[in-house]
Amino acid sequence: MKRTRLNKISKKRQAQLPAYNKLIKKLVILCGNKSELSGQNPDWQGYYKIEPHHIGGRNGKRLLDPFGVILLTRTEHDLEEGKIRGEKVGKEKLLAIVKEIRTKQGFQPDV
């Protein structure tokens, strides 16, 4: 098998990463390292850490938008991304759940 180089991270993305990591760390603390969808604790598959799922993608401003990220267990994350079989919750419902959670946490939606 031929090895290939990893894609380089753009300077713009490099500039966003510290703010992104800070945001994810804050969200994990606020949710108590439990799934915001089901309230389950993460298991060994996710190294006992909850995973951020970017509902609308990670392009541009969406990367740093707390209303576009929901924290899920590894199994829930794989299900939403279509990696395993099962019924997805769906983008619209996830966005509604996140909006309610983030509003209670004190975040303000960008208008």
For residue range 51-106, list pLDDT tens digits in order.
999 998 888 788 899 999 999 999 989 888 888 888 888 889 999 999 999 999 88
Does the residue 15 lie in any domain?
Answer: no
pLDDT of residue 38: 86
* 28 has pLDDT over 90: yes
> How many structural domains compose the chain?
1
Q: Which residue has the tokens 């991304």?
A: 81
Residue 110 lies in a domain: no
Amino acid at 50: I
Structural domain boundaries, residue 58: 33-103
- Tokens linked to 102: 């983030």
How many alpha carbons lie under 13 Å from residue 67 in its C-beta half-sphere? 14
16 belongs to a structural domain:
no
